[in-house]
Structure formats: structure tokens, C-alpha cells
Amino acid sequence: MQDEPGSTAGPARTDLTADCARCFGLCCVALPFTASADFAIDKAAGSPCRNLRTDFGCGIHTELRQRGFNGCTVYDCFGAGQKVSQLTFGGEDWRSGDREHSRLMFDVFHTVRQLQELLWYLTQALEMSAARPVHPELRRVLDRTEALTRLERQELAGLDVSEVRQDVNVLLLRTSELARAGLGRGRKKERRGADLMGARLGGADLRGANLRGAYLIAADLTGADLRSADLIGADLRDADLTDADLTGALFLTQPQLNAAKGSAGTRLPASFTRPGHWTP
């Protein structure tokens, strides 16, 4: 069960979603690409993508999949781009200074992106009524993590996120256990980190399953019941979610859905957007 959205303090989900209009194309410059099924070209970290316009928009945004840039369509900075661009650097873009300036901005973006992702998971956890026993601790860690995203640029560039991630992970594991506890022992299938690439799981009852970090690449999940399944870190690239039920799935992200296949019959939590490439 989940509380009504907005029932807890903390960043709104809209603040944890990329707003490209307020960003200086940081992901299109800071990140490296390797020519593959996800990217049509090689691109070094710190080098602008050839499709990046001078106004920081993408010149082929509406044709990314057709042009071989699937990886761009599944990426989400969880709001780090606009926070770094507008808050940390106060509207200064990566072209407004020397090479050290741009390098610092890219390093900060990498750090803040990790922190924003942790905030996304913490926010989801606070919306779960079953996790009320750990809500005070979740709020404390969320507030601390949010405060870190507002550090000065030099502090952010040198920040080690691993300790924060460890503290968050302990709480998210406890949240998952509490959220899945009411389903009974028979429901709590342990598939953490499992290699399920190409697995035939059509129609499978996966309610309450622990699929944290599972490899579900190209898995057949048509009609599968994934309610209350823990999907944090699960790789859903090319997984077929046609007519699957993901309502109430734990720690689901929009990038996971964007990387998968689905249909109009796929049931999603209300806060998620049905990807445009899914079958009508």
C-alpha cells in the first residue's frame, strides 16, 4: 500500500525528473558514448555530442531511436542537470569559462546525478505506508542527502557518494522487506541479482519478488504480475512488459520503463509515463 502522493515532506517528484529546458545539455557533453546498439557513434567524455545544438537542445530529439541513439531515450539524470546548471553554477554554462571550469561542472554533475537518484528512491520509500516504522530514519537520510546536493561546487566535485549510498541502501532494503511482508512467505521470491536474460516468464506470478539488480534483458514478461516486486536496479532493457501489471512495483524508475517494451495493456503506477515507442 502507498500513501497519497505528496503526503510526505521532501523533494517533489517533478524536482527529481529531468527538465532539459533548464539544463545546459550536460548529459550530452559530460558522458562518454561507445558505438553500439544504444549509440550510433563514439564520443569521449567532455566532448559535445554532434547532435547538440548551440541552444543546448538535441537536433534529432524526435528521431533518436530511428537514428540509433536508443541510449539517449532511456537516460534520466533525475533532475541533476537543471540543479547543477541553475543552482550550483547559477546559470553559468560549461562554455562560459576555461577547461577547468567545464571539467568541474561535469564532475559536479556526475556527483549530483547519483545523489538525485538516491533521493528518488528515498521519496518512493516515504510514500509506502508499510514502511512507516522507518519513516523517521528515511526522512533524516533524505534531508541529509538533499543538503549534500546544495553544497558548493568544489565540495560536490570531491564528494564520495559511496558512504551515503550505503546508508540509503540499508534503509531501502528494510523498506522493501516491510512492503513485501504482508504478501506471505510464498510470495517473496528471491531473485536478487539473478541472470534472467531472455527468461520465459510470460504470465508469471512475481508478486512480492525480490528482483533487485536482476538481469531481465529481453525477458518475456508478457502478462506477468509484478505488483509489489522490488525492481531497484533491475535491468529491463528490451524486456517485454506487454499486458504486465506493475502497479505498486517497488522502486521502479522511468528509465527502466523507457528501456523496455510494452503496450497499452501494460498497467503502470499513476506517476509514470507510458513510453512513446510502446505498442499502441
Q: What pLDDT digit, counting tens, does each position of 191-235 carry?
A: 999 999 999 999 999 999 999 999 999 999 999 999 999 999 999
pLDDT tens-digit readout, 50-84: 999 999 999 999 999 899 999 999 999 999 999 99
What mean pLDDT value characterizes the chain? 92
Beta-carbon contacts of residue 105 (< 8 Å; ≥ 6 apart)? 26, 30, 84, 89, 92, 94, 153
Contact 142, 10 (CB under 8 A): yes
Q: How confident is the model at residue 15 (pLDDT cuts 50, 70, 90)?
A: confident
pLDDT, position 182: 75
Query: Is the pLDDT score of 188 beyond 70?
Result: no
166 in helix, strand or coil? helix
Cα-Cα-Cα-Cα torsion 248, 223, 199, 195, nearest 10 degrees, comes to: 0
pLDDT, position 6: 38
The predicted model scores a pTM of 0.90
